[in-house]
Amino acid sequence: MAEDQGVNGDIWNDQATNLLTKFQWVTLGDSNIDLPNEDNSKSGVDRLFTFTECLRTSFTEGVIVEAKRYKTDSFSSSALQTWIKTLDKKLNNLRSSSDLHEKFPILADIPLRTGVIVIWFHNVHDYHTYKATFKTYMANMKLGRKSQASNKIYVLENDAILRLASLYMSLKELNSQINDKFRFYYPSVDLYPAKRSTTLNINYMMSKFILGDFVDNGGIENRVVFYFGALGIEDFQRLRHALVYYSYADSDKPLLIYTYTRDDEEFRKVKMEVVRLFKEQVELREMELFIDLPTFMRS
């Protein structure tokens, strides 16, 4: 088998769990468990989680997470297709299972429609060049359409995993300066009120920027943006508009923008213009970049 079985697979399962729990995802039961389907058969899953979805709703949601550890040259597009199909099937077979509800009573009351595949290509240097191929596999995947319940399946690969790790490290540093007061900000959407939470939802994990805030010791609300996009002036103009749209631009409130992309040559040229663009009291900080798993995930 191409996938790392046994010890390495279990280690990756735990490492992925380490990462997700940093964003207030809560594990349900053990890892590598067989769960009872509605038709008396069983589905093996790597880990069950719950998290609170704060965008629009305040529901807690159930999530099945499958942790995959591969080497780039052992991977094929058909493997990804199979995982997605299988995960879709597992979600459909499990959500109405009375045995499962008996085992985890919370699942009787919350939606179970989300699956996450966390795939780590452990030959990280090769992944740098392999990434384009993997993204093409994902883009070209054909999803069949049946008249059955819809599920949301997300794939977090090396880039997304390292981005989340970097986000966590920046948050950890920031929280150490502000007595853990940071909250993610979920803007008002579709007439639902805005919310603040320490939980990061899956939608933010897939997004290009994340909003948050904290109240400093002087009682002033500070606004924070974690920005993963490009660093050209037009990119920042768009980000500025986004902040206006989400009512997040406020001349009375300090704004802290964390950038992730590195583009020293270009960014140096436009940095002053970017600062002028954000008329608020803006501070730009860089997030750390990792090329391999950071120690907090490995321990």
Partner 1 sequence: MAKANIYPTKYELTEVLSSITNRGFLNSFAQQKGIFITHVDTNTLAQEISNLFLDNEDLETIRKEAYQSKSNHALSGFVVNSNDKSFNLKTNYQWIFDQGKQKLNQKISQLVKIKDKDIYKGSIEYVKKTAGKIEFLQDEVTQFDFYIEEVNPGIWQVEVDGSRSTDSKELRELFGEILTRETEILTVEQSLLNTESSILFFDRLANEGMSNEWNFKTVKHLTIKRGNIDDADENGETEVVNSDDLIGITQAILQGENLRENLFVKQSVNSGYRFNAMTYEFAHKKEPYFLELKAEFKGRPKVFEVTIVNYQEVVGTTLTREKISIPDGHSRLIRSSFWNKSKTIFDEIIKRK
Query: What are the residues binding partner 1 (CB under 8 A)?
Result: 55, 84, 88, 135-136, 138-141, 143, 145-157, 160, 189-190, 203-204, 206-211, 227-230, 232, 234-235, 237-239, 241-242, 244-245
Rounded-to-10 torsion of CA 37, 43, 49, 54:
-60
Shortest reach from residue 218's CB to partner 1, in Å = 29
Phi, then psi, of 272 in degrees rounded to 5: -65, -40
Minimum separation from the CB atom of position 50 to partner 1 (A): 20
- CA angle, corner 126, sides to 124 and 131, nearest 5? 90
Q: Which is nearer to partner 1, 10 or 154 (CB)?
A: 154
Long-range contacts of 207-215 (CB under 8 A, 24+ apart): 209/239, 209/242, 210/167, 210/184, 211/184, 211/185, 211/186, 211/187, 211/246, 211/248, 212/182, 212/183, 212/184, 212/185, 213/182, 213/183, 213/185, 214/174, 214/178, 214/181, 214/182, 214/183, 215/181
The least distance separating partner 1 from the CB of residue 232, rounded to whole angstroms, comes to 8
**SS3 of residue 144 by DSSP:** coil
How many CB atoms are located within 10 Å of the residue 56 CB? 16
- Tell the smallest beta-carbon distance from residue 43 to partner 1 (Å): 16
Nearer to partner 1 (CB atom), residue 48 or residue 156: 156
What is the nearest approach in angstroms of partner 1 to the Cβ of residue 206?
6
- Compute the least distance from the CB of residue 113 to partner 1, in Å: 10
Dihedral in degrees, nearest 10, Cα atoms 234, 237, 238, 242 = 170
Q: Which is nearer to partner 1, 103 or 152 (CB)?
A: 152
| Backbone phi, psi, residue 180, to 5° | 55, 35
DSSP codes, 195-247: EEESPPPHHHHTSSEEEEEEE-TTS-EEEEEEE-S--SHHHHHHHHHHHHHTT
Q: Which is nearer to partner 1, 145 or 176 (CB)?
A: 145
Report the residue number, 103 or 232, with the smaller CB distance to partner 1: 232
Q: Could you tell me whether strands 183-186 and 195-197 are parallel, antiparallel, or unpaired per DSSP bridges?
A: antiparallel
Query: Which of residues 190 and 265 has its CB atom nearest to partner 1 in the complex?
Result: 190
Q: Which of 86, 80, 85 is nearest to 68 (CA)?
A: 80
Distance CA 19, CA 25 (A): 9
Closest separation between CB of residue 6 and partner 1, Å?
27
Least distance CB 156 / partner 1 (angstroms): 6
Name which of 10 and 160 has its Cβ closer to partner 1. 160
Give the residue with the Cβ less far from partner 1, 85 or 103: 85
